[in-house]
Structure 1
């Protein structure tokens, strides 16, 4: 499926479901956040997302994400 068709399908599905429109990138971020929240190892998350981020950048992303997730869990 081409990216334009996928975006159009996602947009239409959101509209039919009565939920705010989201981007494919939002689904990717949600997927990563849910994995990190379940304490899946960051290397596994990185491999699943197929990210090419540098090691230092990826460490920063994971550290920030885990910090935010832990703050939300403590509420």
Structure 2
């Protein structure tokens, strides 16, 4: 799985929820990539990796069911 940048995540999240939304370009202080260790989450709640698209789809579904 290749790393995603913050702008990639913003685009994936924005597109199904608010495709016309514009966001600011990356600033010098912004992290280009982040990496996490999910081993504890996997151990405690059986969390495992998924694709960004699958995660955004689940987030979008939850968001629409739980407004405001």
- Who wins on radius of gyration, i.e. which is larger? 1
Q: Structure 1 or 2: larger helix share?
A: 1
Q: TM-score, normalised by structure 2?
A: 0.31
Which structure has more RCO (C-alpha within 8 Å, separation ≥ 6)?
2
